């Protein structure tokens, strides 16, 4: 079983941590503590479920146990790219720790562990990400947009958009409190999407609104009659 926990009621975008551990007691304890710290939590209980989870969800950090049913933690680690992994394991041998760090883990914590130490290590990883992250990421409520890679997520779930739809949403997210007129939209996105015309703009926005509504269960773009469009506040 793979489960996900939504963002908080205020719609604030939170960092997402995936807990990959078949020990339900430890997983429940970590989920409770990390949610209190303001993180969004995803859960997987086997190596195979973990790979499915990571394929379908935006994840910022992974807590990985090694003794997993199906694919082992070591096998899962080898398949993870560009996501920091903290290994949490009962293995205490130095050679095991060195091997896992050399294979891609960013940190290693031995069970049993102090929760404050884990929280500190998580904080350090996110601090390092902020220092090294060259991406341009826009966030508004449940929506997260990576302008560099042209990827879009809503509540952690990937949303496929066309080039024109992406450009329109990027412009609206750059101006979250404003109504953006049709003429401004056409002018600002013309460099990225020369195929968008005044006649086709409504179609592009209608398709974008439908995709966001299907992913998030509500409308995220509001039409202001006779003027233009704006992001809809929940």
The reported pTM is: 0.60
Pairwise CA distance, residues 83 & 151, whole Å? 16
Domain at 137-231: CATH architecture: Orthogonal Bundle (1.10)
Q: Which pLDDT does position 83 carry in this prediction?
A: 86
User: In the beta sheet, which residues pair with residue 139?
Assistant: 144
Q: Could you state, in order of their start, the residue ranges of all structural domains in the chain?
A: 3-132, 137-231
Residuewise pLDDT in 10s, the chain (234 residues):
444 443 443 333 578 899 999 999 999 999 999 999 989 899 999 999 999 998 888 788 999 999 999 899 999 998 887 789 999 988 878 888 888 888 889 999 998 899 999 999 999 988 887 665 555 778 888 888 888 888 898 987 889 999 899 999 999 998 887 898 988 888 888 777 767 777 888 899 999 999 999 998 899 999 898 889 999 887
Superfamily of domain 3-132: Response regulator (3.40.50.2300)
Q: What are the structure tokens assigned to 144, written together?
A: 């997260």
Secondary structure of residue 211 in the 3-state scheme: helix
3-132 and 137-231 share one CATH topology?
A: no
């Amino acid at each position: 079983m793979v489960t996900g926990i939504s963002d908080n009621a205020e719609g604030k975008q939170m960092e997402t941590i995936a807990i990959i551990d078949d020990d339900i007691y430890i997983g429940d304890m970590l989920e409770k503590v990390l949610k209190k710290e303001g993180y969004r939590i995803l859960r997987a209980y086997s190596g195979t479920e973990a790979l499915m989870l990571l394929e379908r969800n935006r994840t910022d950090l992974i807590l990985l146990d090694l003794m997993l049913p199906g694919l082992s933690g070591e096998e899962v680690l080898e398949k993870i790219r560009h996501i920091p992994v903290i290994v949490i394991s009962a293995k205490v041998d130095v050679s095991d720790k060195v091997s896992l760090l050399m294979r891609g883990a960013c940190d290693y914590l031995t069970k049993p562990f102090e929760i404050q130490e884990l929280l500190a290590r998580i904080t350090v990883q996110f601090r390092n990400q902020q220092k090294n992250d060259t991406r341009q990421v826009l966030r508004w409520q449940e929506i997260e947009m990576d302008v560099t890679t042209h990827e879009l997520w809503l509540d952690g779930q990937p949303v496929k958009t066309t080039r024109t739809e992406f450009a329109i949403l990027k412009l609206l997210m750059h101006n979250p409190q404003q109504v953006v007129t049709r003429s401004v939209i056409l002018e600002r996105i013309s460099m990225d999407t020369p195929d968008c015309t005044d006649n086709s703009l409504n179609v592009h926005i209608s398709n974008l609104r439908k995709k966001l509504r299907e992913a998030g269960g509500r409308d995220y773009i509001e039409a202001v009659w006779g003027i233009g469009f704006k992001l809809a506040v929940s």
